[in-house]
Chain A
Amino acid sequence: MKSITHPEKTKENTRIYKPGRRDFLKLGSLAATGLVLGVNFSCKDRKKGGEVTTFTANVYLSITSEGKVIITAHRSEMGQGVRTSLPMIVADELGADWEKVEIVQAQGDEEKYGNQNTDGSFSVRMFYKPMREAGATARLLLIRAATQQWGVPEGECSTDNGKVVHKTSGKELGFGELVEAAASLAVPEIEEVPLKDPSEFKMIGKGMPIVDLQDIVTGNAVYGMDAVVPDMKIAVIQRCPVVGGTVKSVNDEAALAVDGVLQVITLKGAGIPPQLNKPLSGVAVIAENTWAAIQGKKALDIEWDLGPNAGYDSEKQQQELLESTKNKGTVRRERGDFDQALRGASKTIERTYLAPYFAHGTIEPPNALARVQEGKCEIWAPTQHPQFARNSVAEALGMDVGNVAVNVTLIGGGFGRKSKPDFIVEAALLAQKSGHPVRVQWTREDDIQHDFYHALSAQRIKAVIDKDNKVAGWNHHTTFPSIGATSNAEAIQPSDGELGLGCVDFPYDVPDIRIETHDAKAHLRIGWLRSVSNIHHAFAIGGMLDEIAEARKMDPVANALDMLGADRNITFTEEMPGGKYENYGEPIENYSWETGRLRQVIERVAKNSGWGKEMPEGYALGFTAHRSFLTYVACVVEVAVDDKNRITIPNVYYSLDCGLAVNTDRIRSQFEGGSQFAASLALNSEITVKDGQVQQDNFDTYRIVRMPQSPQKIHVDIVESDAKPTGVGEPPVPPFIPALCNAVYKATGKRIYKLPIDLKA
């Protein structure tokens, strides 16, 4: 069957059909018997900014004659529970027996599954409706098959626990007994398929344990590092310590003398810009085992041409960036006239905020296995973006994309790092050059020193308070090297996308607003890290709002609510000269910026945390609210600071509105983990660069929180809502950091203007 996607179809539209020959070829044994439905929907690619239309199913739902329900999960799992949440949606709508639901991990193949890029917190957001529709269609077909046998009206039947049930007569038939008949029926149009009322859900909205649990706790889960093929060799690479540098010469004698080392191969880098999907210049040691490869790498004697970044000093650049924020910048949002506000000021507050580079530090370092034979390449890798990996490998090897297959393993932590396929391309090139299947193994030092870093930044905010004690003006300067610079050396200003991450979407009802940016050159590979530019923007804005409250002699929560003003929906774009508010890739009509929803979470978190209560000596609460990835979050952090200036975090309170909450347990765990992640950024972590080289190299110098320092109790309050579901992986991070800083101020009297927090400075 040739499937046609109508041009007017949007991602709100799903097409469900019986797969034809073309699908069966791809489905293989999955399609052997029973009822198989293909689900096709087009989806937006945030990065490319266009619709990706696929002509076969994005997802397959099959029900076998044994009553097994098989769902092809096509998103990468990295701890956010998506391999559980998406199938859960289908299974709940279908009325399946969760014990009989099997999940098959799809290969990276955008033609087959549509966009697989698992970042930007959008898996559930994008697939919620199509997944429900797929489940509902299968349910209707099974019910139809049953009513034909029973001669009763469809409306009297329902599904439950893997069976079709006719309540009044007590008749029931298992899915397995019905699939043959159901498969012969015509697939109904989406419009005639009834969806369940949310009150009927048994799984959606509840906590469901993740499917890989038992494998994880027994050590049987297969991450990238655990994939093996016969004859596989291990490669460890010494990359040029400076981005843009190259290999001048290599003496590999000592390396080749290491027991187990087989070959030494030089890899060419992309130069400047370094690209998201290209190796850095380096020298690879191929060995029989990982230890030999690591020893071989240490024995390499390489002469580098360090290139134009060799003199780079991050501290110096940050100071220069800070200086530049005193000047007029490029205006990116203008509302009213800030100069006018200044003239009517009764008080102005001007503060600066500095945040460092951050590395991802996933506990599983990057790694990938590649096998090249007979003109084909097969990859096993922990990738957040298999299609990007596939295209990049094809390009690097000069192969047709069709000859590259990417198997997605479990991911031992992603946070944005593993959506860049540079390490996968390394494996493919080395497999091709060495003639062996090769796993490239990054050491922790490689990972900390050659990451795609969260950009360092400098910001300056000027706030104006008028004679009536109202906030009359807001002038925010932000500058940081852009992610765009990693692929385009000309990109020296933050993109609209990056500014849309918590900066231009400043939601407070201040009459005169001016937001400006300044040039910032990139000297490292810049990438995205869990919540991206929201991290530094929320840090600055959240801190400033606390100071405004103090200046107005108001409570910080009351101040925020006052500044938000009356509930309204904001669009921003018309105040952005020549720019656009990107709203996380969603049309603002579909996902409005609703200040009422922010207000609601603020009110709830204040109540839940006992905001305003008397605190013991050394204890204090701090507050910030922030919307990111379309999710509204308010956060209160409780700190305790002892006489040695040691900070502990006894309690964290979150209230969040993520629309309809699909898997509440995984939402809670994302917020628990998000606060721990943010605590590391606020308290410990910092990447600095001297002479073009990253100075940290392992978890002793790039520190992340350990159990004794970690936030102790995390209270997560989820607003009940039937609005469209939004992201939950990233939104916990941004508000936590300023809430913590504000609490530290309350406890110690010391304002935090620089991350990581250093109370001795």
Chain B
Amino acid sequence: MAQYTIRINGKEHQVDATPDMPLLWVLRDILGMRGTKFGCGKALCGACTVHFDGVATRSCSLPVSAVQSSEITTIEGLSENGDHPLQQAWTEHVVPQCGYCQTGQIMSAAALLRENPSPTDEEIDNAMQGNLCRCGTYNRIKAAIHTAADKK
């Protein structure tokens, strides 16, 4: 066990964890922030996506010891009132089915739009291919990203 100070959604947290514990489990099991989901543990599904200094990152494969002074943003910190343009677009298109993958999808999409405010279909495909949706909501995800991009 070691002690780490990490910054999540603009707030500092002190956590006791083994150095190899992935950020995902620090968030979920230690800090009780459960909007970030577990799907594969191997950076294959994207359910655990957070922003690491603004970059979409799979928290299941990021050891807590590697976080250091970086700024982490999770779904809980994406917007103050759940009204990020992507969250609104997700609601408008009724994207979710079971919904389990969707926080990861939204975090990946948010990182994409920050870098590229009006992505093409192909650019969306590229940015989103690390996020699996078993319910098959890909079409609506794409439509919602375009809607959010247009509003910006």
Residues of chain A lying within 8 A (CB to CB) of residue B75: 218-219
* Inter-chain contact B29/A290, CB cutoff 8 Å: yes
* Inter-chain contact A220/B137, CB cutoff 8 Å: no
Answer whether residue B71 sits at the interface, using C-beta atoms and an 8 A cutoff. Answer: no
Residues of chain B lying within 8 A (CB to CB) of residue A364: 37, 39, 98, 100
Residues of chain A lying within 8 A (CB to CB) of residue B97: 79-81, 669-670, 673
Residues of chain A lying within 8 A (CB to CB) of residue B102: 216-217
Q: How many residues of A contact B (CB 8 A)?
A: 67
* Inter-chain contact B82/A218, CB cutoff 8 Å: yes
Contact among A212, A259, A289, A704 with B99 in the assembled complex (CB-CB below 8 Å): A212
Answer whether residue A708 sits at the interface, using C-beta atoms and an 8 A cutoff. Answer: yes
Least CB distance, B79 to chain A, in whole angstroms: 8
Contact among A209, A223, A291, A713 with B100 in the assembled complex (CB-CB below 8 Å): A223
Contact among A289, A361, A441, A669 with B30 in the assembled complex (CB-CB below 8 Å): A289
* Inter-chain contact A707/B124, CB cutoff 8 Å: yes
Interface centre among B74, B125, B134 (most CB of A within 10 A): B134
Interface locus among A181-189, A373-381, A409-417: A409-417
Answer whether residue A78 sits at the interface, using C-beta atoms and an 8 A cutoff. Answer: yes
Task: Enumerate A352-399 residues with CB–CB distance to B below 8 Å.
Answer: 361-365
Answer whether residue B6 sits at the interface, using C-beta atoms and an 8 A cutoff. Answer: no
* Inter-chain contact B138/A291, CB cutoff 8 Å: no
Least CB distance, A454 to chain B, in whole angstroms: 14
Contact among A673, A679, A699 with B132 in the assembled complex (CB-CB below 8 Å): A699
Answer whether residue A714 sits at the interface, using C-beta atoms and an 8 A cutoff. Answer: yes
Answer whether residue B114 sits at the interface, using C-beta atoms and an 8 A cutoff. Answer: no
Q: In the complex, what residue of chain A is closest to B29 when comparing beta carbons?
A: A289
Residues of chain A lying within 8 A (CB to CB) of residue B32: 228
Binary contact track A61-86/B, C-beta < 8 Å → 1, others 0 = 00000000000000001111100000
Answer whether residue B57 sits at the interface, using C-beta atoms and an 8 A cutoff. Answer: no
Alpha-carbon gap, A415 to B98, bound state (A): 11
Alpha-carbon gap, A218 to B33, bound state (A): 12
Alpha-carbon gap, A708 to B123, bound state (A): 10
* Inter-chain contact A291/B29, CB cutoff 8 Å: yes
Interface centre among B94, B103, B136 (most CB of A within 10 A): B136
* Inter-chain contact A217/B96, CB cutoff 8 Å: yes
Answer whether residue A644 sits at the interface, using C-beta atoms and an 8 A cutoff. Answer: no
Task: Enumerate A261-282 residues with CB–CB distance to B below 8 Å.
Answer: none
Residues of chain B lying within 8 A (CB to CB) of residue A225: 28, 34, 37-38
Given contacts A209-B91, A217-B106, A673-B97, contact A290 B134 (CB under 8 A): no
Least CB distance, B121 to chain A, in whole angstroms: 8
Answer whether residue A105 sits at the interface, using C-beta atoms and an 8 A cutoff. Answer: no
* Inter-chain contact A219/B101, CB cutoff 8 Å: no
* Inter-chain contact A363/B34, CB cutoff 8 Å: no
Task: Enumerate A287-340 residues with CB–CB distance to B below 8 Å.
Answer: 289-292, 294-295
Given contacts A217-B90, A226-B34, contact A707 B142 (CB under 8 A): yes
Residues of chain A lying within 8 A (CB to CB) of residue B20: 291, 295
Least CB distance, B50 to chain A, in whole angstroms: 11
Residues of chain B lying within 8 A (CB to CB) of residue A665: 94
Answer whether residue A108 sits at the interface, using C-beta atoms and an 8 A cutoff. Answer: no
Alpha-carbon gap, A188 to B29, bound state (A): 53
* Inter-chain contact B18/A260, CB cutoff 8 Å: yes
Q: In the complex, what residue of chain A is closest to B129 when comparing beta carbons?
A: A706
Binary contact track B11-30/A, C-beta < 8 Å → 1, others 0 = 00000011011100100111
Given contacts A218-B87, A289-B30, contact A78 B96 (CB under 8 A): no
Tell me whether chain B's interface is mostly helix, strand or loop, or mixed: loop
Alpha-carbon gap, A228 to B142, bound state (A): 33
Alpha-carbon gap, A413 to B94, bound state (A): 17
* Inter-chain contact A209/B94, CB cutoff 8 Å: yes
Least CB distance, B76 to chain A, in whole angstroms: 6
* Inter-chain contact A363/B101, CB cutoff 8 Å: yes
Interface centre among A209, A670, A706 (most CB of B within 10 A): A706
Task: Enumerate B108-146 residues with CB–CB distance to A below 8 Å.
Answer: 124-126, 128-142
Least CB distance, B64 to chain A, in whole angstroms: 9
* Inter-chain contact B18/A259, CB cutoff 8 Å: yes
Answer whether residue A119 sits at the interface, using C-beta atoms and an 8 A cutoff. Answer: no
Task: Enumerate A681-708 residues with CB–CB distance to B below 8 Å.
Answer: 698-700, 704-708
Answer whether residue B72 sits at the interface, using C-beta atoms and an 8 A cutoff. Answer: no
Q: In the complex, what residue of chain B is closest to A292 when comparing beta carbons?
A: B18
Alpha-carbon gap, A444 to B137, bound state (A): 21
Contact among B35, B38, B44, B133 with A220 in the assembled complex (CB-CB below 8 Å): B35
* Inter-chain contact A444/B40, CB cutoff 8 Å: yes
Alpha-carbon gap, A185 to B134, bound state (A): 49
Given contacts A214-B82, A699-B132, A707-B124, contact A410 B99 (CB under 8 A): yes
Residues of chain A lying within 8 A (CB to CB) of residue B136: 672-677, 679, 705, 710
Alpha-carbon gap, A45 to B137, bound state (A): 31
Given contacts A210-B94, A291-B21, contact A710 B138 (CB under 8 A): yes
* Inter-chain contact A217/B91, CB cutoff 8 Å: yes
Alpha-carbon gap, A674 to B97, bound state (A): 11
Q: In the complex, what residue of chain B is closest to A674 when comparing beta carbons?
A: B136
Binary contact track A644-677/B, C-beta < 8 Å → 1, others 0 = 0000000000000000000001000110111111
Q: In the complex, what residue of chain B is closest to A80 when comparing beta carbons?
A: B97
Residues of chain B lying within 8 A (CB to CB) of residue A711: 139
Q: In the complex, what residue of chain A is closest to B28 when comparing beta carbons?
A: A290
Task: Enumerate B31-70 residues with CB–CB distance to A below 8 Å.
Answer: 32, 34-42, 44-45, 47
* Inter-chain contact B35/A219, CB cutoff 8 Å: yes
Q: In the complex, what residue of chain B is closest to A224 when comparing beta carbons?
A: B100
* Inter-chain contact B137/A672, CB cutoff 8 Å: yes
Answer whether residue A487 sits at the interface, using C-beta atoms and an 8 A cutoff. Answer: no
Alpha-carbon gap, A20 to B96, bound state (A): 39
B-to-A contact residues, CB < 8 Å: 1, 17-18, 20-22, 25, 28-30, 32, 34-42, 44-45, 47, 74-76, 82, 87, 90-91, 94-103, 106, 124-126, 128-142
Give me the 4 closest cross-chain CB pairs, A-B, nearest first: A219-B35, A676-B136, A412-B100, A79-B98
List 30 contacting pairs A-B, 8 Å CB cutoff, sorted by A: A79-B135, A212-B96, A213-B96, A214-B91, A217-B82, A217-B87, A217-B91, A219-B76, A234-B29, A289-B30, A290-B25, A290-B29, A291-B21, A291-B29, A362-B98, A363-B39, A363-B132, A412-B37, A413-B135, A441-B38, A673-B97, A673-B137, A677-B135, A698-B41, A698-B42, A698-B44, A699-B40, A700-B44, A704-B132, A710-B138
